[in-house]
Amino acid sequence: MKEMFKIFTFVLLICGVFGADEDEVKSVMEGDSVTLNLDPTQIQGFIQIQWRFGKLGSTIAKIVGKTISYEDEEIFEDCLQLDQTGSLTIKNMRTKHSGRYKAEISHSTGTLDIIFIVTVFVSPDVIDAVKGEMKLMSVTEGDPVILQTDVPQLTRDMLVVWRSGDEGKLIAKHDIEAKSSPFYVETDGRFRDRLKLDQTGSLTITNSRTNDSGLYRVKISSNNQTTYKRFTVTVSVPDSGLSGGAVAGIVIVLLLLVQAVAGVMYFFRRPITTKLPNQTWIVQHGDHVTLNPETEIQRGDEIQWLFGAEETLIAEIKGENREMKTHEGPDERFRDRLKLETTGSLTIKFIFTKHSGLFTLKIRRGRETLYKRFNVYVKSESLQSV
C-alpha cells in the first residue's frame, strides 16, 4: 500500500508539471474587452497563479493567496484586471495585445499551464445598430454637419471609430493611446478632405452635400467603458422661397413621416444586406488555406474578396464572362499566393504571419449584398514549437 501511494503521488507530480490543455483561441475587435477564464477545477488548492504574455513569456499579473499584483508593463497600462478566481480581463484592447497568454497555476504537486491565443482585429465590423441613442439632424447643403460625442475631452486610453451608411463603412478613427493623428478613410472619395475630428472625438463634415444624408455611428472605447451614438442626417437643397424656420419645420415633419412608414417601405427603398456566419481560422505557418463562401454562387453574382480594415481588393469575379482576377494586395504580400475558383472559394498558398487578418467576402446579387468574414490567425514558427 505504501508503494502504491508513492506511485500515485509521482503520477500527480508528473501531470502537474507537464500537464497542459489544448490552446484556447479568442478573437476580438479593437476597443473591446476579453476575459480569459480558468476552470474552477484547475485552480483548486493553488499556491500561485502567474499570467505571462508573448513569445518571451513576460509576467504581467499574478495572484499569491489572495494578494493580486501587476507588473509594470507599458503595453498593458491600466488595461488588466485579475480576480480571485485567477481569470484575467484585458480591457480596451488594441492589436498590440494580440498574442499568446499563459496562466501558470502552481499547486503543491506541480504546475499546470493554460494557454490562450488572442487575436485583436482592427474594427471592420458594423457597429450594432440597436446600440446608442439616436439623434436627428438636418442642415442645408453647403453648411457643416457637426456630430457631437458629448465627451468633454478625449483621454489617452480612448479609441474613437466613426462609420457611415447602412453597411457601416469606416470613415474616421482616432487612437489616442497610439499617439497618432486622426485617420480618415477615403475609399470612394466621397468625403475627400471634408472630415475633421476634434479633441472631443466629435466629427465635422464640411461643405455638406445631399449625398451625405444617412446614418452615422460612433463607438468610443476606453478602459472604463464603451459608449455608442447614432445620428440620422438630412442634407437638403436650399429653397429661397421659404424661410429657414419653414424649411426646418418641413424637414422635421418629413423625418417623422419617413419614420412612421419605414417599416412598410423598408423592403422597397433600400438594399438588402445579409450577413453570413463569421469564421475564425488558426492555421500553421506555410500551410495552404481555402476560404469557402458556404453559399451557392448564382449566375450574375459579382464576387469580391477584401483584406484588412481598409478592405483592400485582392480578388474578384465580375462581368457576364465571369472574369476572374487576383491582386497583389498591400505591400504586394499576396503576390503569386492567391487562387480563385468559380465557386468563389479563395486559396492562400504558403501562408505566413503577415497574411494574418480579416478577409471579407462580398457577394452582390441584384439589390442584395451578402457578407462573410474570416478572421485568420497564422501561428508563427516559434509558437508551433511550444
Domain boundary residue among 121, 150, 181? 121
Model pLDDT for residues 259-273, shown as the tens digit of each residue: 655 554 544 545 687
- C-alpha pair distances (Å), 117 with each of 24, 150, 177, 243, 269: 6, 36, 23, 61, 44
- Calpha distance 342→303 (Å, rounded): 10
Residue 285 has pLDDT above 80, yes or no: yes
Q: Is residue 255 part of a domain?
A: no
Looking at the whole model, is its pTM more than 0.75?
Answer: no
Residue 7 has pLDDT above 50, yes or no: no
Q: Which residues of 107-125 are buried (b: 16+ CB within 10 A; e: fewer)?
A: bebebbebbbbbbbbbbbb
| Residue 267 phi, psi (nearest 5) | -60, -30
Model pLDDT for residues 41-85, shown as the tens digit of each residue: 888 889 999 999 998 899 999 999 889 999 877 888 888 999 999
- Calpha distance 343→350 (Å, rounded): 21
Total domains, the chain: 3
Higher pLDDT, 133 or 51: 51
Q: Is residue 15 part of a domain?
A: no
Tell me: do 191 and 280 sit in the same domain: no
Predicted pLDDT of residue 239: 64
CA atoms within 13 A on the CB side of 305: 29
Average pLDDT, stretch 116-143?
75
**Residue 383 confidence class, pLDDT cut points 50, 70, 90:** very low
| Of 81-95, 97-111, 233-247, 282-296, minimum mean pLDDT range | 233-247
Q: Is residue 128 part of a domain?
A: no
Predicted pLDDT of residue 196: 92
> DSSP secondary structure string, 34-76?
EEE---HHHHTT-SEEEEEETTTTEEEEEEETTEEEE---GGG
What is the span of the domain harbouring residue 153?
A: 133-236
Tell me: do 179 and 206 sit in the same domain: yes
| Residue 332 phi, psi (nearest 5) | 55, 30
**Residue 121 confidence class, pLDDT cut points 50, 70, 90:** confident
Residue 284 has pLDDT above 70, yes or no: yes
Domain boundary residue among 55, 89, 121? 121
Question: Which one-letter amino acid corresponds to residue 238?
Answer: P
Tell me: do 153 and 229 sit in the same domain: yes
Residue 363 has pLDDT above 70, yes or no: yes
Residue 116 has pLDDT above 90, yes or no: yes
| Of 76-85, 99-108, 244-253, minimum mean pLDDT range | 244-253
Tell me: do 277 and 375 sit in the same domain: yes
Residue 6 has pLDDT above 80, yes or no: no
Predicted pLDDT of residue 104: 95
Tell me: do 89 and 152 sit in the same domain: no
Domain boundary residue among 70, 100, 121? 121
Tell me: do 156 and 98 sit in the same domain: no
Average pLDDT, stretch 209-218?
90
Predicted pLDDT of residue 94: 86
Q: Is residue 264 part of a domain?
A: no
Q: Are 12 and 77 in contact (CB under 8 A)?
A: no
CATH (domain of 169): 2.60.40.10
Residues sharing a CB contact under 8 Å with residue 68, sequence separation 6 or more, in sequence order: 61, 62, 82, 83, 84
